[in-house]
Structure 1
């Protein structure tokens, strides 16, 4: 609750209490006045009736008494009149039938006006006996009239007080808003500053007591930006030291192996090649290390440029004269075409067109089509490289004769059939809070089972992206999940969006409409997007992510930290959580005491208001080493995936 609202509520409550006390006092005063009026009217009426009846009682005129009573008895104010005549020994009575009141029953039930009775003796004078009593008048009032009059006055008084209260509250609201305008601007500026985290200063207010607050916020904002920028630079430097070859600008051997391990863990298919450039030693001996390093840098730039069209490719300097490349989702012919292009572009860097032709680079390649492990894949590629050297070939691909490779259009058919015939199934893996007690969510992994063979996501996702089937696949998965979540309230899932789905405007419009229609699932369904997708299309999908947040849905970033040079998108998008790339966990596995990088990247996530979740936690020892670090959750094979039944 804002200070403005709190003060308005407190002031309104105090005003309400004061008005209630005033209203109560005035009501009691009005009640007392009407009681006094009732008594005075009753006494006057009694005396008037007594005087009017003396002549008739004195002579014993019964008809005169009856006629007088009929004329002077007012049923509006009197409930009952009783005349007793001693000479006639008769009692004359009149009773009012007007007992109902216009006031509500609960009001008359308060007993504000007790029934009053007044008596008076009728006295006459004679010379023989003096003054003697000849009759008695007894008059009872009717409180209905008093209730009616008091109810009318109280109603008007209540309306007056209520109007006064409403007018005062409105005036208080206007006055507080006018006086708190600077504070509200200061608050809004502080919120914008918090969301942007860019160190921008907020405007200083005119009020002298608010200026120090604004100046303090500006100072803290600047310090926070310097701190986060320093952390980002520190992580980037440490990351480069651990995983980057400074000469070529590519990843090093450790980086390449960690990426291949992740790809294999996802049951990925595709090709790997090792490029050997033996002429590097010749360049070093002839022109020195500077010429060699320049050639290495040119090779690195060429490889990155040529491989840019291929999603999730990895390229690294594997040794002094060798480069390793991983290209998921390609078949053998595509891998051969890529290798030929790479060889040609590497040769163009160095070879003079007029010089005699010679082999500049030799490529050995291998395909992963089944369950080959990392050592098997590296050994196959190394054997292919050895074969190319022995046979003086530029390229040699080790063929897999054990099974037939599926072509691109065959993969397309398998995927479309799986979507149309309900052949998409799921594995699930829990994500726990670091206390190991609270389950944050459950990540969903899809696979295809056509009844004869099972295909993992690592096998068919390259074709999904290539043929832009991501929107159809993700729509099918979400349509399957919604009824599942509705029938199982204990479930909650995180769904990975494919690149071609989240960048498709029609799909984004459909998913927003679908999620709005199912707002009850907002706390049980979240979405994940790969960091590489955000870097390429953050502007296009920002509106979609903002709408998700507006309707209560959470989203996170997968593989966070692979692109430390470009984390500015965090300041605009504000994810709910990030899943830190497994390479940072691998640093911890190598040295369980080296937590610098992991702590720093968690600080960057927290600076953007996101929870930090580490991935690929495979042992209790690694999990125990995370205690005390600024980590919110973990995921990995310590809790392995299992089928969703």
Structure 2
């Protein structure tokens, strides 16, 4: 429309310009014809008498340099010629204008007579200077006027079109958001008839897609509850606990379990029915959930028994957790005078290297039995000599500070591959090498988190990794874990934001891995960090996805690049119920363009089975073995 408007304005300008030029040419012709006629009549009496002085006076008075270029009077009787020449000076008109626009001089010749006798011949040549000046002045007025008109018309046209096409821009913006699986409020139906139907159809499609994703998330939640979650308390069930215990016992991690039995809940079930008992269970579970951590697993073992699995935790910390659980159970019983006996007991078991699932649960049950015989504080600890030498939180913190100061951190990488065997990224595992001793992150991160020293640790590790990426262009992409305490630290978030801004060229070579627990406990801080990562064109993933039994619906809000599934979801792929759960979760992630990565993959059969369930990424022992075989 602007092009058409410009063409129209240009056409009018050209027409007006040509009209003005033609008018000036005709005016010049008319003026010289009138001048020749008038001068011929004035000269006639003097020609008859031969008064040369009078004839020169008439010529000088009539013609001047602004309109005429040359005047010539030839006298036939005297054989004499009177000539006047005026320089053709054209001022105020650019040379390029005169060279492109031609206005030629006009010459008129008239024979002067007296009766039948020819007395002389008058020749006058016009000066085009005046016509050029008038035409240039008119051109400037036209250019200025049409420019103002075009600018005003263009602005008005843009304003009108922006108002008319505003619904289309809203559709465009909403379509971009929907392509990223982000669904906002329905668009307002415009008054434009042609666009109203489009907006209505678009709103309907957006609502259908949003409902589809919500239904998928709800389906995954229902299947998760069915497979791994206790429906009353919302904690893990026995099946999920056994999976976590097996993984813990297979590794080198220390720590222990805390078993809580609440007789008040059992009595409530027996005396008041299931509804009253369920209310107490739900109330206690909500309190116990405050103890959860990214590494902890809290489960409801039986009707009135609750167990907390705490890897990499010292004996004193296990006792502290046990006392907290005991105190929470006491709050269920209304006793203003504090005279009734405690209707709960806690057994704490510190892991031994030779423990199995059956032995550690048996020890916990025995510890619980002994605790019930101690009315003052019904809490018993089963410990062993190996744990007595375990370092405390402050010692671990001092070791980490020393490692940061003396650059004792080392890194190893574990690949995550897709179903085609291509590398997705390499996850970074940091450890401290002090002399001959090696300390893995699993040993000291728990203590660092409890002392809120995660930001210093994360900043040091990230700084080292950025340097490695700059020094080695072939390295990457790599994924680095962020501790939970760092996500809640505004100073760390500000530091990381500045770091990303200063290293935009590394945005494709490093990813940040956030623990799932941070999206539950510190959702506002985590959402802020995710938004800053997106704004700086970096990407992030979610670790231990599904460990804390949160709804998967938050994925559409934060949009990570990948989710690393908790290994409990990928170890029992032959179980139909758990296979359905895994398929539902991976389908939801896939529809949001999020890669689902299975961790701790140990066999190629497991890879093939997981691939059938739309798992697109694999990480674990078997992946390392496959890469070593390829290298050989």
Match of 1:378 in 2: 356
Q: 1:116 to 1:405 in 2, by over 3 A?
A: same
Corresponding residue of 1:314: 297
Secondary structure of 2:452's partner? coil
Partner of 1:139: 125
1: CA distance between counterparts of 2:589 and 2:464? Answer: 32
Residue aligning to 2:341:
none
Checking the alignment, whether the CA contact within 8 Å between 1:574 and 1:610 is kept in structure 2 is no
Instruction: After superposition, give the CA deviation of every residue in 1:355-405 in whole Å (9 maximum; x if it has no partner).
Output: xxxx9997654257xxxxxxx66389659949989xx9965445449x953
Please report how far the alpha carbon of residue 412 of structure 1 lies from its aligned counterpart in structure 2 after TM superposition: 0.6
Report how many aligned residue pairs link the two structures: 601
The separation in 2 between residues aligned to 1:592 and 1:76, in whole angstroms, is 106
Deviations 1:451-484 (A, max 9, x none): 6544332222112211111222233344455566
Matching of residues 309-458 of structure 1 within 5 Å: 309=291, 311=293, 312-315=295-298, 326-335=309-318, 365-366=350-351, 378=356, 385=363, 396-400=382-386, 405-428=390-413, 443-450=427-434, 452-458=436-442
Aligned match of 1:530:
515
* TM-score, reference length from structure 1: 0.69
Residue 464 of structure 1 aligns to a residue in which SS? helix
Q: Matched residues in 2 for 1:436 and 1:158: separation? A: 68
Which whole-Å CA distance do the structure 2 matches of 1:12 and 1:489 have between them? 49
Secondary structure (helix, strand or coil) at the match of 2:89 reads coil
Structure 2 counterpart of 1:356: none
**8 Å contact from structure 2 (residues 71, 122) kept in 1:** no
Instruction: State the match for 1:616 in structure 2.
Output: 599
2:232–2:281 CA contact under 8 A, matched in 1: no
User: Following superposition of structure 1 onto structure 2, how do residues 508-523 of structure 1 map, counting pairs within 5 Å?
Assistant: 508-512=493-497, 515=500
Counterparts in 2 of 1:42 and 1:269: CA distance versus 1, 3 Å: farther
The 2-side partners of 1:116 and 1:196 are apart by 75
Is residue 2:13 matched to residue 1:31? Answer: no
Give the corresponding residue for 2:7.
Answer: 17
Note the alpha carbon deviations across 1:474-501, whole angstroms, 9 max, x for none: 3334445556666777765554332111
Distance 1:500 1:528 in 2: 14
| Equivalent in the alignment of 1:566 | 551
- The offset of 1:157, in angstroms, is 2.1
* Corresponding residue of 2:139: 154
Match of 1:372 in 2: none
Distance 1:48 1:489, change over 3 A: farther
Q: Is the 1:365–1:385 contact (alpha carbons within 8 Å) kept by the matching residues of 2?
A: no
Contact 1:617–1:623 (8 Å) recurs in 2 = no
Please report how far the alpha carbon of residue 64 of structure 1 lies from its aligned counterpart in structure 2 after TM superposition. 8.3
* Alignment match, 1:115: 104
Q: Distance in 1 between matches of 2:382 and 2:101?
A: 109
1:279-335, Cα deviation, whole Å (9 max, x unpaired) = 9xxx9xxx99x999x999999997996685362212457899999753123234544
Of the three residues 87, 98, 116, the one matched with 2:89 is 98
Q: Displacement of 1:191 after TM fit?
A: 9.4
Deviation readout 1:544-563 (Å, 9 max, x if unpaired): 54455455554443333334
- In 2, the alpha carbon distance for the partners of 1:314 and 1:610 equals 29
Deviation string 1:37-63 (CA, Å, 9 cap, x unpaired) is: 344445555666777888999999998
Match of 1:471 in 2: 455
Which moved further from structure 2: 582-591 or 314-323?
A: 314-323
| Cα deviations by residue, 1:558-586 (Å, 9 ceiling, x for unpaired) | 33333455345456x43343414234761
1:577–1:258 distance in 2 versus 1, CA, 3 Å = farther
Please show how residues 626-645 of structure 1 align to structure 2 within 5 Å: 634-637=617-620, 640=624
Alignment of 1:194-273 (within 5 A): 223-224=208-209, 226-244=211-229, 251=236, 255-256=240-241, 258-259=243-244, 269-273=253-257
Matching residue of 2:337: none
- Secondary structure of 1:406's partner? coil
Q: For residues 266-285 of structure 1, what are the structure 2 equivalents within 5 Å? A: 269-273=253-257
Whether the 8 Å contact between 1:193 and 1:200 is mirrored in structure 2 is no
Q: Do the aligned residues in 2 keep the contact of 1:274 with 1:363 (CA within 8 Å)?
A: yes
* Contact 1:347 1:360 (8 Å CA) reproduced: no
SS of residue matched to 2:107: strand
With 204-213 and 441-450 compared, the bigger mean Cα shift is at 204-213
Change (3 A) 1:40 1:206: closer
Alpha-carbon deviation of 1:116? 3.1
Relative distance call for 1:112 and 1:436 in structure 2 (3 A) is farther
Q: How far, CA to CA, are the matches of 2:553 and 2:64 in structure 1?
A: 90
In the alignment, what sits opposite 1:7? none
- 2:570 matches 1:586: yes
Aligned to 2:339: none
Q: Distance in 1 between matches of 2:467 and 2:40?
A: 90
Comparing 489-498 with 584-593, which one deviates more in the overlay? 584-593
Distance 1:104 1:591, change over 3 A: farther
| Change in 2 beyond 3 A, CA 1:136/1:569 | same
Report the Cα distance in structure 1 between the residues aligned to 2:199 and 2:564, rounded to whole angstroms. 34
Quote how far apart the aligned CAs of 1:427 are: 4.2
Tell me if the contact between 1:84 and 1:136 (Cα under 8 Å) persists in the aligned partners.
yes
Secondary structure at 1:330 match in 2? coil
Over 3 Å counting, the alpha-carbon distance change for 1:120 and 1:192 in structure 2 is: closer
Deviation at 1:533, TM superposition (A): 0.9
CA spacing shift, 1:322–1:537, aligned 2, 3 Å: closer
Unaligned runs of 5+ in 1: 1-10, 350-358, 369-375
SS in 2 for 1:15: helix
8 Å CA contact 1:384–1:398 kept in 2: the answer is: no
Q: Tell me: CA distance 1:69–1:123, structure 2 relative to 1, closer, same or farther (3 Å).
A: closer
Give SS of 1:600's match: helix
The answer to whether the Cα contact below 8 Å between 1:447 and 1:454 also exists between their aligned partners in 2 is: yes
**Alignment partner, residue 577 of structure 1:** 561
Matched-pair contact (CA < 8 Å) for 2:480–2:513: yes
Once superposed, what is the RMSD of the aligned Cα atoms?
5.9
Deviations 1:148-203 (A, max 9, x none): 32232222223322333333344445545665677788889999999998997777
CA distance change for structure 1 residues 94 and 57 in 2, over 3 Å: closer, same or farther? farther
Measure the CA separation in 2 of the matches of 1:80 and 1:492. Answer: 87
| Unpaired segments ≥5 residues, structure 2 | 333-343, 372-379, 628-632
Asked if 2 retains the 8 angstrom alpha-carbon contact of 1:363 and 1:388, the reply is: no
